[in-house]
Amino acid sequence: MSELWRWVPPLLYGLAAVMYGRRLRAPNAQAAAPWLGPVAVGAHLLQLCLLSWSQGRLPFGTMWEALSLSTLVLSGAYLLVERMARSTALGAPFFLLAALGSSLAAGNHEPARWPVLVQSTLFAVHVALGVVGIGLLAASGLLAAGWLLLYQLLRGRRFGEFTRTMPDLATLDRLFFALSSLGTILLACAAVLGLLWMHIFRLPVTPLVSWKMATVLLVLVWYAAIPLLRQRRTWSSGWIAWVGFLGLVPLGLMIWTGTRAI
């Protein structure tokens, strides 16, 4: 595959972020943005399919490739959120994060670390659940950030195009909770399957592998706390939104450790 083709998704995601940002500032600039997001997601999906076809394997031989898949899930989740919430106000931050993730994946291309073991069905299911879980958790963090921003604007009575086009707080809260819950469940299943995969193939638990496991556990505990906090009336929606937003920090740490060579 041409190295230039790897940079097509980041470029399209960046353009989509710019167009969605312009859409907030200039409502009459709505003609270009609606189709650019789906085109970027479609081009990214096509790129991954071509990568899989050209190399004769599924496109997650490295954590960078898994990051690219998670970015695709994040962008696809946004398109679903946009349709459900009937709002395009969150398009800019979602596609900006997608541009960052796909750029990191494109700039760190490397051969598969386990070309034989990657072919196992167990590993395929482990990675598939993991990348979807990561993408959904990242999406939930951005929704939590949107909730916090909208709350502050409404509280300060600073009304404008952003507050007019944003989903209401209740919708953002429901979407945030749904994505964070589903993402946590999928990531937990992926972690269990990953441990099983390591046991079957008798892979050694090195200090770096232990550190990676610790970051996964941290993310799972962090996001598993969200439904527990929602049941306690002493925790407001604002505090829970902060927990969801700050969860992007351990999530980013987990992704970073995953890119380190074993």
Rg of the chain taking only CA atoms, in angstroms: 19
Nearest C-alpha neighbor of 41 from the set 110, 106, 105, 99: 99
User: Tell me: the pLDDT tens digits for 206-239?
Assistant: 888 899 999 999 999 999 999 998 887 778 899 9
User: Tell me: the pLDDT tens digits for 131-181?
Assistant: 899 999 999 999 999 999 999 999 888 877 778 888 899 999 999 999 999
Distance CA 3, CA 109 (A): 9
The Cα-based distances of 123 to 45, 55, 175 in angstroms read 20, 17, 30
The better pLDDT of the pair 116, 9 is held by 9
Least confident of 76-80, 110-114, 145-149, 219-223: 110-114
Identity of the amino acid at 235 = W
Distance CA 189, CA 225 (A): 17
- Contact in structure between 140 and 222 (CB atoms under 8 Å): no
pLDDT of residue 262: 56
Assess whether pLDDT exceeds 70 at residue 117: no
Q: How confident is the model at residue 62 (pLDDT cuts 50, 70, 90)?
A: confident
Distance CA 144, CA 132 (A): 18
- Contact in structure between 198 and 122 (CB atoms under 8 Å): no
